[in-house]
């Protein structure tokens, strides 16, 4: 006999699952049949989800989640995961997006739904990337307008640099001693030496 299981996830231990669990229970899922994770959705290597997929779900069962991104966040991994669940004969119900539900649908309809899911995920991921890039550009522009400089600050050349370097090049003192006298770290010293030769 087919069964219905719920899956709820938040990204960190200080976040709450209550809202998702409540929605799953209102759908009719027994609380003992709701599997949870408190971990990032960047991949599917999650204890609760892996137990659900490999040990609990059987062909003909239904997996219910409140929102699509509770299943995962990576477009490519979600695509593979969705296909694997379909191949295992698991129906998927997404409470906030009923159009994506595969329960009681034909194989053709399931295939069409999978395509919608993948396009939606690709669109969402691309939109998110563009939003992040725009925010970064806006942040950089705002910081530059306030006089903030980006990148490593240029090393200040000590006044005695030329004279101490002459001693080092002529063999009067070692590089270590020259760095010590100039108060420079090894990487800074050699960078200044290189810049001085240009």
Please give the positions annotated as active site: 11
Alpha-carbon distances, residue 197 vs 63, 150, 167, 170, 181 (angstroms): 67, 25, 16, 16, 20
3-state helix/strand/coil string of 147-164: CCCCCCCCCCCCCCHHHH
Return the closest-CA partner of residue 64 out of 125, 21, 119, 105: 21
End-to-end, the C-alpha distance of the chain in Å comes to 79
Reference 79, options 38, 126, 131, 116; nearest CA is 116
Q: How many CB atoms lie within 10 A of CB 6?
A: 26
The Cβ of residue 94 has, within 10 Å, a number of other Cβ atoms equal to 21
- Look-up: residue for tokens 């959705």? 41
């Amino acid at each position: 006999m087919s069964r219905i299981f719920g899956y709820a996830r938040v990204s960190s231990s200080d976040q709450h699952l209550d809202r998702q669990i409540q929605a799953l229970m209102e759908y009719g899922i027994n609380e003992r049949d709701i599997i949870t994770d408190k971990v990032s959705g960047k991949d599917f290597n999650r204890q609760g989800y892996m137990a659900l997929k490999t040990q609990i779900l059987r062909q003909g069962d239904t997996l219910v989640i409140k929102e699509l991104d509770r299943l995962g966040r990576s477009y490519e991994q979600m695509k593979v995961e969705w296909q694997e669940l379909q191949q295992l004969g698991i129906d998927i119900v997404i409470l906030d997006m009923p159009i994506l539900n595969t329960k009681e649908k034909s194989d053709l309809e399931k295939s069409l739904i999978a395509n919608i899911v993948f396009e939606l995920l690709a669109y969402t991921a691309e939109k998110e990337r563009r939003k992040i890039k725009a925010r970064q550009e806006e942040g950089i522009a705002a910081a530059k307008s306030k006089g903030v400089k980006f990148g490593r600050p240029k090393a200040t050349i000590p006044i005695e640099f030329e004279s101490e370097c002459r001693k080092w090049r002529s063999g009067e003192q070692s590089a270590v001693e020259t760095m010590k006298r100039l108060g420079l770290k090894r990487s800074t010293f050699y960078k200044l030496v290189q810049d001085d030769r240009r």
